[in-house]
Amino acid sequence: MTAFAPQSASPTRGFRAVIRILLPLVAMIAITAQPAMAQSILRDAETEALFQDMMDPLLVAAGLQPGQVRVHLLGDRSINAFVAGSQDIYVFSGLIEAADSAEEVQGVLAHELGHVMGGHAIRASEGMKAATGISLLSLLLGAAAIAAGGGDAGMGILMAGQQAALGKYLAFSRVQESTADAAGAQYLSKAGISGRGSLAFFKKLQNLEFRYGVKQDDDQAYGRTHPMSGDRIQSLREVYVIDPAWDKPADPAIEARFQRIKAKLSGYIADPARTLRKYPESDTSIPARYARAYAWHKSAYPEKALGEVQELLKSDPHDPYFLELEGQVLLESGRPAEAIPPLREAVAKSRSQPLIAATLGHALIATEDQANFVEAEKVLKTAVALDNENPFAWYQLGIVYANKGDQARAALASAERYSLEGGQSGLALRNAETAMQGLPEGTPDWIRAQDIALVARAEVERERKRR
């Protein structure tokens, strides 16, 4: 495990709505539902905490409760973000890499919140329904013309109908985007966050369009999912520059945390050589040391990685995320016993943050010392109680149960794990059924196993029909 832990998203736990791309597309677009398992979710305690702190003022401005909308990070270097389901925002790692400031990301989050509040992911079916109606009508008319002997006329009707259907959906999409732009500007204003970042990020998107030869004239507007970037920038500028928050300085604490996260993510994703060029050893800032620690660790130089971590800890000896990184480097370098003290402190300082607690549980188990398994069970139970969507924590808890001879609960933990991992419904079903056979009927654990079995069985049947 690393601080950024890749996790396949489960098609049974959301993610089944239409994906909405942030960047405009100019070619013909197939509007399809993309399964969660097509992307890898990156889990990191520090990043998720920052995202929530960036999101909560916007949620309050929109009339929601803090924490009501969650932000997830996807391991994809595209500059994209989208809304899925009804209250989940997904941000691509490439967007974080491209953003220069926390305000830029908050501008994107405000826009995506506009989609959430407008119910756009759910209402996407309305646009598709209207487009489908046009498409079906053209098929009927075209078929009738062909049957009457007018082959060319029939094909013309078919092609025109498909083009009209696509245009209908794209127009629907552009309206949603304009609505989300306006709503996002309102949320930023009410939250007292300047729109400078929002405009700066839209300008980045426009520059990318210029680079790739995407025309900005009105003739191209028909084939776009989004309004033209120049028009969006102009409309938003008129709103932002007169807003009282326009000249308000950015939150320095949020900005400092963002720069840490950006460097940390770069160190995790990028090639180590590239990271070391971008953050040379002459740069002794906290973000640079963070990035290099990951680069050295990925390059199998644990002592160099630990050297950077020790310098980070000198700046703040009790920072839970620095302690977490120290524990992870030690653990992944084959020194689990040494990893336990910093990870214990990281868990304590982060108030039992479940992702960090799962790593501590892993370290305790990795010592193969039976005396540590009791603590591991306690730590891992707390982790899954606070975050039951972490398959790695369930996997570790299954090891603990198997070690103590509790095969029924080991099977239940495995069922939980496989239900969270895309494409593992068969394994989830078998383990859930095994758990039910060994657990007292009617107990909470038995009921949970039954629930997993029902969902997994339905998914297995759907997969069988698809085949």
The answer to whether the CB of 446 falls within 8 A of the CB of 436 is yes
Written in H, E and C, the secondary structure of 368-397 is: CCHHHHHHHHHHHHHHHHHCCCCHHHHHHH
Count the alpha carbons within 13 Å of 385 in the hemisphere toward its beta carbon.
7
SS3 content of the chain, % helix, strand, coil (to 5): 70, 5, 25
Strand partners of residue 5: 43
The answer to whether the CB of 403 falls within 8 A of the CB of 373 is yes
What is the reported pLDDT for 215? Answer: 60
The answer to whether the CB of 42 falls within 8 A of the CB of 227 is no
Pairing of strands 88-92, 81-84: antiparallel
Amino acid letter for position 116: V
Contacts of 465 (CB under 8 A, 6+ apart): none
Phi/psi-derived region of residue 291, left when phi > 0, alpha when psi is between -120 and 50, beta in every other case:
alpha
Phi/psi-derived region of residue 67, left when phi > 0, alpha when psi is between -120 and 50, beta in every other case:
left
User: What share of the chain has pLDDT > 90, as a percent?
Assistant: 67
Burial class (CB in 10 A: 0-12, 13-18, 19+), 30: exposed
Reading the chain (467 residues) residue by residue, the pLDDT tens digits are: 457 777 755 433 332 233 333 333 222 222 223 333 346 899 999 999 999 999 999 999 999 999 999 999 999 999 999 988 768 999 999 999 999 999 999 999 999 999 899 875 555 555 444 444 434 444 444 454 445 555 554 455 445 545 544 444 444 455 578 788 999 999 999 999 999 999 999 899 888 877 776 665 554 444 444 556 677 888 889 999 999 999 999 999 999 999 999 999 999 999 999 999 999 999 999 999 999 999 999 999 999 999 999 999 999 999 999 999 999 999 999 999 999 999 999 999 999 999 999 999 999 999 999 999 999 999 999 999 999 999 999 999 999 999 999 999 999 999 999 999 988 999 999 999 999 999 999 999 999 999 999 999 999 999 999 87
Contacts of 78 (CB under 8 A, 6+ apart): 23, 92, 94, 95
Amino acid letter for position 53: D
**SS3 (DSSP) at 142:** helix
Residue 308: phi and psi, rounded to 5, are -65, -40
The H or E element that residue 456 is part of is helix 444-466
What is the reported pLDDT for 159? Answer: 56
Residue tagged 């109680």 (tokens): 385
What is the reported pLDDT for 120? Answer: 53
The answer to whether the CB of 259 falls within 8 A of the CB of 266 is no
Distance from C-alpha of 430 to C-alpha of 336, rounded to nearest angstrom: 32
What is the reported pLDDT for 86? Answer: 66
**SS3 (DSSP) at 5:** strand
DSSP letter at 18 equals B
pLDDT tens digits along 412-466:
999 999 999 988 999 999 999 999 999 999 999 999 999 999 999 999 999 999 8
The answer to whether the CB of 100 falls within 8 A of the CB of 83 is no
Distance from C-alpha of 35 to C-alpha of 463, rounded to nearest angstrom: 13
Distance from C-alpha of 277 to C-alpha of 286, rounded to nearest angstrom: 16
Distance from C-alpha of 448 to C-alpha of 57, rounded to nearest angstrom: 36
Note the pTM of the prediction, 2 decimals: 0.81
The H or E element that residue 158 is part of is helix 151-190
Written in H, E and C, the secondary structure of 57-107 is: HHHHHCCCCCCCCEEEEECCCCCCEEEECCCEEEEEHHHHHHCCCHHHHHH
Strand partners of residue 6: 42
The answer to whether the CB of 388 falls within 8 A of the CB of 424 is no
Q: What would you report as the CA-atom Rg of the chain, rounded to the nearest whole angstrom?
A: 25
Amino acid letter for position 62: A
